[in-house]
Amino acid sequence: KVLEKLSKDYDLYILSNCRESYLDLALDVYNIKKYFKKCFAAETFGFISKDEIIKKERHNIKEEIIFVGDRYHDMEAARKNKLISIFCTYGFGSMDEGKKANYKINSIGEILNIL
Protein backbone atom coordinates (compact mmCIF):
# COMPACT_ATOMS: atom_id res chain seq x y z
CA LYS A 1 0.00 0.00 0.00
CA VAL A 2 2.86 2.37 0.81
CA LEU A 3 4.61 1.72 -2.52
CA GLU A 4 1.34 2.25 -4.35
CA LYS A 5 0.78 5.58 -2.62
CA LEU A 6 4.38 6.74 -3.11
CA SER A 7 4.42 5.77 -6.78
CA LYS A 8 1.47 8.08 -7.44
CA ASP A 9 3.40 11.11 -6.20
CA TYR A 10 7.04 10.20 -6.83
CA ASP A 11 9.23 8.32 -9.29
CA LEU A 12 10.59 5.32 -7.40
CA TYR A 13 13.80 3.49 -8.20
CA ILE A 14 15.57 0.44 -6.82
CA LEU A 15 19.33 0.15 -6.60
CA SER A 16 20.47 -3.24 -5.36
CA ASN A 17 23.88 -4.88 -4.96
CA CYS A 18 22.55 -8.04 -6.55
CA ARG A 19 22.55 -9.73 -9.92
CA GLU A 20 19.93 -8.73 -12.50
CA SER A 21 18.26 -12.15 -12.40
CA TYR A 22 17.90 -12.02 -8.61
CA LEU A 23 16.41 -8.52 -8.67
CA ASP A 24 13.95 -9.46 -11.42
CA LEU A 25 12.90 -12.56 -9.49
CA ALA A 26 12.42 -10.67 -6.21
CA LEU A 27 10.36 -7.98 -7.91
CA ASP A 28 8.18 -10.65 -9.53
CA VAL A 29 7.77 -12.70 -6.34
CA TYR A 30 6.65 -9.66 -4.37
CA ASN A 31 4.70 -8.24 -7.33
CA ILE A 32 6.15 -4.75 -6.87
CA LYS A 33 7.95 -4.02 -10.13
CA LYS A 34 4.98 -1.95 -11.31
CA TYR A 35 5.72 0.68 -8.66
CA PHE A 36 9.24 1.46 -9.86
CA LYS A 37 10.22 3.66 -12.76
CA LYS A 38 13.54 1.88 -13.12
CA CYS A 39 15.45 -0.85 -11.31
CA PHE A 40 19.23 -0.93 -11.11
CA ALA A 41 21.19 -4.08 -10.31
CA ALA A 42 24.89 -3.72 -9.44
CA GLU A 43 25.67 -6.47 -11.94
CA THR A 44 24.66 -4.13 -14.77
CA PHE A 45 27.46 -1.78 -13.69
CA GLY A 46 30.13 -4.42 -13.08
CA PHE A 47 29.36 -4.46 -9.34
CA ILE A 48 30.82 -1.02 -8.68
CA SER A 49 29.72 0.72 -5.46
CA LYS A 50 26.28 2.26 -5.10
CA ASP A 51 27.72 5.75 -4.78
CA GLU A 52 29.43 5.32 -8.17
CA ILE A 53 26.24 3.98 -9.75
CA ILE A 54 24.35 7.01 -8.47
CA LYS A 55 27.01 9.30 -9.97
CA LYS A 56 26.63 7.56 -13.34
CA GLU A 57 22.81 7.60 -13.36
CA ARG A 58 21.99 10.81 -11.52
CA HIS A 59 21.73 12.85 -14.72
CA ASN A 60 18.83 10.58 -15.80
CA ILE A 61 16.82 11.42 -12.67
CA LYS A 62 15.30 14.89 -12.76
CA GLU A 63 13.81 14.96 -9.27
CA GLU A 64 15.49 15.39 -5.92
CA ILE A 65 16.77 12.00 -4.79
CA ILE A 66 16.06 10.66 -1.32
CA PHE A 67 18.00 7.47 -0.66
CA VAL A 68 16.34 4.81 1.49
CA GLY A 69 18.37 1.85 2.70
CA ASP A 70 19.21 -0.50 5.54
CA ARG A 71 23.00 -0.82 5.36
CA TYR A 72 26.02 1.38 5.95
CA HIS A 73 26.96 1.41 2.25
CA ASP A 74 23.49 2.80 1.47
CA MET A 75 24.01 5.69 3.87
CA GLU A 76 27.52 6.24 2.48
CA ALA A 77 26.20 6.32 -1.09
CA ALA A 78 23.74 9.02 -0.02
CA ARG A 79 26.39 10.99 1.87
CA LYS A 80 28.93 10.86 -0.97
CA ASN A 81 26.28 12.14 -3.39
CA LYS A 82 24.92 14.77 -0.99
CA LEU A 83 21.51 13.11 -0.84
CA ILE A 84 19.00 12.97 1.99
CA SER A 85 19.13 9.50 3.57
CA ILE A 86 16.52 7.43 5.34
CA PHE A 87 17.73 4.41 7.30
CA CYS A 88 15.38 1.44 7.73
CA THR A 89 15.97 0.15 11.25
CA TYR A 90 13.98 -2.99 10.45
CA GLY A 91 16.34 -4.10 7.67
CA PHE A 92 19.51 -6.17 7.65
CA GLY A 93 21.89 -3.55 9.05
CA SER A 94 22.65 -2.78 12.66
CA MET A 95 21.47 0.45 14.25
CA ASP A 96 25.07 1.65 14.19
CA GLU A 97 25.09 1.47 10.37
CA GLY A 98 22.38 4.11 10.20
CA LYS A 99 23.75 6.54 12.76
CA LYS A 100 24.62 9.18 10.12
CA ALA A 101 21.28 8.99 8.30
CA ASN A 102 19.13 12.10 8.07
CA TYR A 103 16.08 10.09 9.15
CA LYS A 104 15.38 6.68 10.65
CA ILE A 105 12.19 4.70 10.19
CA ASN A 106 10.95 1.61 12.01
CA SER A 107 8.45 0.63 9.31
CA ILE A 108 8.02 1.55 5.65
CA GLY A 109 4.80 3.41 6.44
CA GLU A 110 6.75 6.01 8.45
CA ILE A 111 8.30 7.30 5.23
CA LEU A 112 4.96 8.98 4.46
CA ASN A 113 5.46 11.20 7.52
CA ILE A 114 8.88 12.33 6.27
CA LEU A 115 7.91 13.14 2.72
- DSSP reduced 3-state for 16: strand
CATH at residue 45: 3.40.50.1000
Asked if residue 54 lies in contact with residue 83, where contact means CB atoms within 8 angstroms, the answer is yes
Domains contained in the chain, number = 1
CA-CA distance, 85 to 98, in Å (whole number)? 9
Beta bridge partners of 66: 84
User: In the chain, which residues have pLDDT < 70?
Assistant: none
The dihedrals phi and psi of 105, each to the nearest 5 degrees, come to: -125, 145
In the prediction, which pLDDT does 63 show?
86
Assigned domain for 6 exists: yes
Q: What is the pTM of this model?
A: 0.91
Q: What angle do CA 33, 74, 97 make, to 5 degrees?
A: 130
In the prediction, which pLDDT does 62 show?
83
Assigned domain for 115 exists: no
In the chain, what is the greatest distance between 2 CA atoms, to the nearest angstrom? 36
Range of the domain at 50: 2-110
